[in-house]
Amino acid sequence: MFVETEEFARQLEEMGELEQQAAYAAVGRWFAEHADKITHHTHLAPVHTATTVRLDGAEPLITDGPFVEGKEVVSGFAEVEVADLDEALRLARSWPACPIVEIRPAS
């Protein structure tokens, strides 16, 4: 999962158009370079568009917004097929965008 920080989002917003295009091009190159390992990926809509359903009470509770308020938000994810955690870490280290990448195995 690609995790965006407030600082990263602000820096991206403050970039000029050419700088933003270069940043997005770097992400596109990363996906192209690793296309043989990526089985699915997507960019998520901004956090303010989230709806959360909590199922741990007597009745479901539906609220607008993310399940947790924080300074970091998951902005997208990619499913990759790799041999092991070491290979996943190599991919994560080469990610050119958001400053945090969370790796989880799929079950």
Tens of pLDDT, residues 27-80? 999 999 999 999 999 988 887 888 888 888 899 888 887 766 777 888 899 999
Strand partners for 38: 80
Whether 2 and 101 have beta carbons less than 8 Å apart is answered as yes
Q: Other CB atoms closer than 10 Å to residue 78's CB: what's the count?
A: 19
- Dihedral, CA of residue 8, residue 11, residue 78 and residue 84, to nearest 10: -60
The per-residue pLDDT for 48 is 81
The verdict on domain 2-101 having CATH code 3.30.70.1060 is yes
Evaluate if residue 107 carries a pLDDT over 80.
no
pLDDT confidence bin for 103, thresholds 50/70/90? very high
Q: What is the pLDDT of residues 62-77, one digit of tens each?
A: 888 776 677 788 889 9
pLDDT one-digit tens code per residue, 12-32? 999 999 999 999 999 999 999
Helical spans, DSSP H, in 2-107: 6-14, 17-33, 85-93
Answer yes or no: are the C-beta atoms of 88 and 80 closer than 8 Å: yes
The residue ranking higher by pLDDT, 107 or 14, is 14
pLDDT on residue 43 = 87
Structural contact between residues 34 and 28, judged by C-beta atoms closer than 8 angstroms: no
Q: Where are the domains of the chain?
A: 2-101
Q: Which residues pair with 81 in a beta bridge?
A: none
Q: Are strands 51-54 and 100-101 parallel, antiparallel or unpaired?
A: unpaired
